[in-house]
Every structure is written in C-alpha cells, then in structure tokens.
Amino acid sequence: MNSIPSLRINNLAYAYPDGHQALFGVNLEVKKGEKVALLGPNGAGKTTLVLHLNGIIATQHGSVSVGGTVVDARNKESLRHIRERVGIVFQDPDDQLFMPTVAEDVSFGPYNSGLRGAELERVTTDALSKVGMLEFRDRPPHHLSFGQRRRVAVATVLAMNPEILVLDEPSSNLDPASRRELAEILRSLDVTILMVTHDLPYALELCERSVILSGGVIAEDQPTAELFRKTELLATHRLELPFGFKA
C-alpha cells in the first residue's frame, strides 16, 4: 500500500496583504482514497486553505505537499504538475464551463497537457462516463440543467486524473434528485476527496472523516458520525444540523 499521503499540510500560516491573518498554523494529513469533509463557519479560512493546494495562493509559512510533491508557486514546472494533481470543482459550474460543447470543455485540460487523437478521446469519454453525462457530449453546456452542469464540471477535473478532488459546496442549489445522483457519483470515484461544505447531512453521507477549520486552525478532526453527535461542539463553531436530524 502506498504510504505517501495524498495531502500533507504542515504548520501552514497565511496573512493577506492588508494584514488579516487567515491561517495560524494548519496541520492536516489526508490518506490516499480518503473522503474528508472540511467544515467551518464563514471566514474560518477554508477558501484560503484550499487555494494553497494548487498554488493559487503562494505559501508564506509552513508547507503543502500533494502526493509527496511540495507545492511551490515559484517553480512553474512543479506548479503545472501540481495543478494537474489537484482538481478544484467550484461552487458555480459556469466558472469552469466555457467551451461550445460538453466534450470540448472536458477535453480542454488534457489537450493543453499534450494529449491528442485517440488518447484524448478516451480520456474525455471516460470522464463523461464516470459522471453519467456521455450522452450529452455534443450539447452546449448552457443548455443543461444546473445539476448536469455541475456533473460536467466534475468531469473536467476527472479528465486530468487528479490525486485530489476538491469540491466547493457540491450540493448547493441542487434539487433532491440531482443531489442524490451527484452523491452516487462521488461515492463511486476512486480518488481522494476534500469536500468544503456547510451541508452537514451531505458530509455525513459521503465522508467518513470531518475536520473543522475555525479561527485559522484545525479545531476538530474526528469520524463524521461521532463529531455530529456533539451538537454543542458544532454550535461552538457555528455549525448546525437540520432540525430533527440524527447522526
């Protein structure tokens, strides 16, 4: 078994140019294949943390490693490799879909990484198949439903064969059927998942482990079901389960 974790964050601290300190020393390790929920109130530093994973934000203090490779925003070749290994699916799929057809959107990343011909077609077809969107390959993305566009956004990332799939509020704005369909897809994927969410039932459904980022540090790191039974602890970090929900 591969003992190198998919993600290792060591004493990561970050302050914005205006002096706001967003992270105060984050330590986190995620094993290959784990599905982990990243929880926390607004302003806790979740977005800042996630943008360190592929070098969008350069490390000031501490380190981030993906599959054993240190994320170094100053090394362009290393950074290109990291951005292929960390795929971020943003909350709004329209931030990621901009090509005339679904297939062109999914093939965009692999094409720019040098794939051509039969191999590019294979990767595109495989990614669309994984999210149940192959039959829509020739459709314009803006003709799809919101849930379908989110699945295509996931496929654009899967086409790059990432080490880590980062999902930003994946269940937001989905109707119940789309929410269920996406959950089934995410459960089926053989990839490390870090899911940023306020949707605690979705975290419980998909992630065996949850970490709470609060005040710029990891405040809790526990099995999801165990953590969600501690309602007072959740409330301390401005997290709430739906009324009547039992973990």
- Domain presence at residue 126: no
Q: What is the pLDDT of residue 61?
A: 95
- Domain presence at residue 194: yes
- Domain presence at residue 57: yes
Q: What is the pLDDT of residue 2?
A: 53
Q: What is the pLDDT of residue 133?
A: 97
CATH number for the domain harbouring residue 31: 3.40.50.300
In this structure, of 11-15, 53-57, 76-80, the range with the lowest mean pLDDT score is 76-80
Domain count across the chain: 1
**Which of the four pLDDT bands, split at 50, 70 and 90, describes residue 242?**
confident
Q: Mean pLDDT score of the chain, rounded to an integer?
A: 93
- The answer for residues whose C-beta is within 8 angstroms of residue 138's C-beta and 6 or more apart is 101, 102, 103
Q: What is the pLDDT of residue 226?
A: 95
- The answer for residues whose C-beta is within 8 angstroms of residue 9's C-beta and 6 or more apart is 26, 27, 28, 29, 49, 52, 62, 63, 64, 65
Q: What is the pLDDT of residue 1?
A: 46
- Domain presence at residue 146: no
Q: What is the pLDDT of residue 202?
A: 95
Please compute the mean of the pLDDT values over residues 184-203 and round it to a whole number: 95
Share of the chain above pLDDT 70, in %: 98
Please compute the mean of the pLDDT values over residues 220-224 and round it to a whole number: 96
Q: What is the pLDDT of residue 247?
A: 63
Please compute the mean of the pLDDT values over residues 62-69 and round it to a whole number: 94
pLDDT tens digits for range 15-27: 999 999 999 999 9
Give the separation between CA 123 and CA 159, rounded to whole angstroms: 6
Range of the domain at 230: 7-92+162-236
- Domain presence at residue 153: no
pLDDT tens digits for range 76-94: 888 888 998 999 999 999 9
- Domain presence at residue 147: no
Please compute the mean of the pLDDT values over residues 43-57 and round it to a whole number: 92
- Domain presence at residue 188: yes
- Domain presence at residue 117: no
> Is this model's pTM higher than 0.75 or not?
yes
Left (φ > 0), alpha (ψ -120 to 50) or beta: where does 40 sit? left
115 has a pLDDT exceeding 80: yes
